[in-house]
Structure 1
């Protein structure tokens, strides 16, 4: 026997709005036109992709003869150590400098309007420059090696952690803030006792997430001379030793997965 009462009908799912439908159609049309092989397209072709992946000296063919023994070599071990050092130093220094900037980058933490605008403009400029471009600039300035990689990751961490933490500050509970002000606390005291305790867990989680990003980014920075495991991959790539390239990539993938799992467990406890 049906439990539905007479005269009652199941509610219908609302139809998508004409604006949403037109937007989806327009997005699909732009995607097809941008990828098509014509004057204003990029000439996307599945045939060319397949031909490139299956040619005699294709990088993907190295997967069949992957050389995990490469990880035991001094070059690979040195690259992994440099990558870890770059990620740790770049993240710690960048995240440490980001905390006071995050306070100044929020409406609640900035002491005045001029300081807020200046710090926000500075942070926008920092985040507008990709980490790879930072690495290129510092390689040209200080030379090839680990130092330009650390400096690039420092500025990347500074921009990311400052942005995420300042957004968190603007959304905290204002009850403790108002209580501190009512008790006669100065602006620094209000930040110390009413704001920081609320944002420190999120700030720590953002810093750990940034460490994961920096660990991955270090594999790319090495291609422009910024050291780390990326320099090792670029060396084997230049010699056409794709079996060793994939061996290093496999080892790096394992390291990233382990670090990501540990970081995720810690962030879950913090938040």
Structure 2
């Protein structure tokens, strides 16, 4: 009887596992809808038509790459001494200073603006909509256009680049921080309000601690963006290594230009690796 009962119980367990195996099967893969197929075909057709209208030709591209090109020849004749010249070091130092100052100023101003442009930080609808509209306008203007406008306004130099990076940082940080604020846990906020905390105390104790790791990560990411952008801003006269690159480009000294490009690549690579390692510990 004992053996028979054990055999019956084993069969029951196997039957239960067999019955439960049907529930573990993956659901059938959904078929793509006709709308998705139509949109994909339309995008492909638009790409083909656009390529023909801009006169894109693969044969012309290959021909341009294979013919004598002084820019590519300068790459193989790169001047390594230009990477360590006094003027290049000064230009790189100015680029780092622009990135640090622009990021710091933008981060400091972005935090209160992000709080005031969200419902948790600003219960008044009209001021909140005004701040969001202003930030949308700032974000719609690229950093290169900001640099061109400030070059016309305050003249050629590092100040134009600093102002351009400040507004670029402001737009990026306010947007990312506001999106983070919209997804915070409202439990600590309700607890602070129930305890009789003022609005400022509630933000300081229940909101800012929740977004501080993400905000710090955004600040490091913004610094990386500003470091890359500072090289481009110099092409329109906004200071930094970009002015040095533009100088060699106008004179056709491609060997010296490639030396600066390589040095800038190494600096950006090192800064990015450090920033990524820090962001991984913060988030």
Q: What TM-score does the superposition give when structure 2 sets the normalisation length?
A: 0.89
Q: What aligned pairs does 1:98-137 form with structure 2 within 5 A after superposition?
A: 98-137=110-149
Please state if 1:254 is matched with 2:266: yes
Alignment counterpart, residue 179 of structure 1, candidates 187, 191, 194: 191
**Contact 1:111–1:187 at 8 Å: present in 2 too?**
no
Provide the C-alpha distance between the structure 2 equivalents of 1:47 and 1:105, rounded to a whole number of angstroms: 52
Q: Does 1:27 align with 2:48?
A: no
Q: Does 1:49 align with 2:61?
A: yes
Q: Does 1:62 pair with 2:74?
A: yes
Change over 3 Å in CA distance of 1:111–1:29 after alignment to 2? same
1:146 aligns with 2:149: no
Residue 90 of structure 1 deviates from its aligned partner by 0.3
Q: CA deviation at 1:246?
A: 1.1
Equivalence for 2:205: 193
Write the mapping of 1:149-228 to structure 2, written as runs, cut at 5 A.
Answer: 149-228=161-240
Quote the Cα distance in structure 2 between the aligned partners of 1:170 and 1:10: 34
- 1:15 match: 31
In the TM superposition, what whole-angstrom CA distance separates every residue of 1:10-37 from its partner, at most 9, and x where no partner exists?
A: 865332221111111111110000011x
Larger radius of gyration: 2
Task: Specify whether residues 198 and 10 from structure 1 end up closer, same or farther in structure 2 by C-alpha distance, changes over 3 A only.
Answer: closer
Structure 1: unaligned runs, 5 residues or longer? none
CA 1:104 to 1:11, structure 2 compared with 1: closer, same or farther past 3 Å?
closer
Distance across 2 between alignment mates of 1:237 and 1:160: 31
> Contact 1:52 / 1:58 at 8 angstroms: preserved in 2?
no
Please identify which structure carries the higher helix content: 2
Measured at CA, do residues 75 and 190 of structure 1 come closer, stay the same or move farther in structure 2, by a change above 3 Å? Answer: same
Shift of 1:242: 1.0
Q: For residues 216 and 200 of structure 2, what CA distance do their matches in structure 1 show?
A: 21
Q: Is the 8 A contact 1:34 1:42 kept in 2?
A: yes
Structural RMSD (CA): 1.8
> How many residue pairs get matched?
263
Alpha-carbon distance in 2 for matches of 1:231, 1:205: 30
